Structure 1
Amino acid sequence: MPLAIQLVTGPAGSGKSTYAHILQQHCLSLGPRHRRRIHIANLDPAAESFRYEVSFDIRDLISVDDVMDELKLGPNGALVYCMEYLLENMDWLQENLEEFDDDEYLIIDCPGQIELYTHIPVMNKIIDQLRLWGYGDNMVSVFIVDATFVTDVSKFISGSLLALSAMIAMQLPHVNVLSKCDLVEEASMERVLEMESALQLWDVLGDNGRNDSPAAMFGSRDLTVEQSGVVEKAAERERKWNRLTEAICSLLDDFSMVGFIPLNINDEDNISHVLATVDHAIQYGEDLEVRGADYDDDVGEMAE
């Protein structure tokens, strides 16, 4: 089996680097029969630091700080320039990928700017090149969403749309992961995840159930003609937004393409479940040879 690749994407600050680090440490902690070595590469030229052991780093090729200093670009413009520079120097990426043996496992920590996946075809071109190099059947996209979104229904629906957009753009086997579940009240998260549909989620927990609508705020208070007009316009605007949100929820429900797996970094069983789900997306491990004692000893030394 060729090199297996996870492309870890998601908004900035969602926990992509932490996800990669936790999987790497988790696999080193397993028993000899299940232990595996996970390599991690950084493909974010704006990264500052990370806890995982890095196999190769795009900042050795180009970095956002250098581009900002030399070309006087802003952070976003510098990031786009860096990724386009990578496209022009894909031999650098190919040489690094060829350092890995077959049956090995690589997590690529990608940039957090969502525009790179939805508006600018940079990541699509990188993925297309990886397919040409023979990695197409062994790549999976993992989209990370911050679980604190669960506490706000509007943000959760927005995160679902981002996940759907990335999935459509990248055209890879896709797994959505809710990170930082250890920071969210478990009952609140389960209440959202157990909802049967996005539309039901909006009806039960969304703005429809709030009491801060324009009419509710003013109640039966005596209003001038001008004030009544303002309230009526605000109420109409709210009704339009509610109809739009309901249409979006219906879209998510009709295709049933967005689901999330919660990740609690303090729960080893949960980490194993997340990893197994991602592995299943590309059938990783089904044709692997049994590891010998030399491999087990070698990995054991890495864990010490």
Structure 2
Amino acid sequence: MAHRMKRLPPLPALHTFWVTAHCCNFTRAAEHLHITQGAVSRQIAGLERHLGYPLFLRQARGLSLTEQGRAWQHCAQQVFGLIGDAVEHIGRRQQTLQLKASTCVMRWLLPRLMQWQRERPDVPVELTTTVANTVDFLREPFDAAVIYAPIAAQPAEVRHLFDERLTPVCAPALLATLRTPADLQHQVLLHPTRDERDWTLWLKAADVRLSMLSQGHHFETLDLAMTVASQGSGVAIGDCALIGEDVKAGRLAMPFERRVPTGMGYYLVSAPGTQPLPELEALMNWLQSQAHSSDQGWGSGT
């Protein structure tokens, strides 16, 4: 047996009642709603005819709610509260956060974004990778970015993730051949950049001189150098935080304790001068906590 849908009161009139019940004054309600006092009075009268009972007592000293009016005030408060929550949250949940990051940080960032999406499917993130280490929020449509920059005092909207600390890395099968840094003389060095600056910095800190430094293989990205290193084709060098997931998974190993700071760091930034949306704030706080916990896990050995 089909049920007849009850004829609901008109929503605009119910909204007018809700505002008027709060003010208990037609004039103030009209000012708030930006309509005339007469329009407020007509909408209330029409709503009362629809319901079949009065909502207000009209007295010389002003308006007061009837018993039914007080009940409807409570119901209207709930209805428009739910509508307000829907306006605030439904569209926002569907908005995808736009995040930019350089390719070198992908080995650290991508597994964590996958974990974030499992934990917070209501806050989707779209990641754009680039070889650039900076972001221009005036010209680029991103909500936040992971940048690589010198370690220094940063503005409030910049969140520190971790400092870059270099260490050699190789396939686990090569560990037995690397008892001291001098053993690197017998290995192929893999450079994550077109120059030798990373290896030069680390070897200087370790007080080791290699005659074949420039004879290794050079790569355009850290990811390529790490992939070749994991195959046992040489020893690469990279930031211990960025290669941490590979070490945990057993794809790579760090043969030496020494970690050499470069004076550079990774930072999470949002558009300056604006308050991030709550969802973006939650993502940034979560990534920062992930970075700090992994950074502490690898220590700061030298």
TM class by shorter-chain length? under 0.3
Q: Larger helix proportion, structure 1 or 2? A: 1
Length-normalised TM-score, structure 1: 0.24
> Structure with the greater relative contact order (CA < 8 A, sep ≥ 6): 1 or 2?
1
Q: Larger strand proportion, structure 1 or 2? A: 2
Length-normalised TM-score, structure 2: 0.24
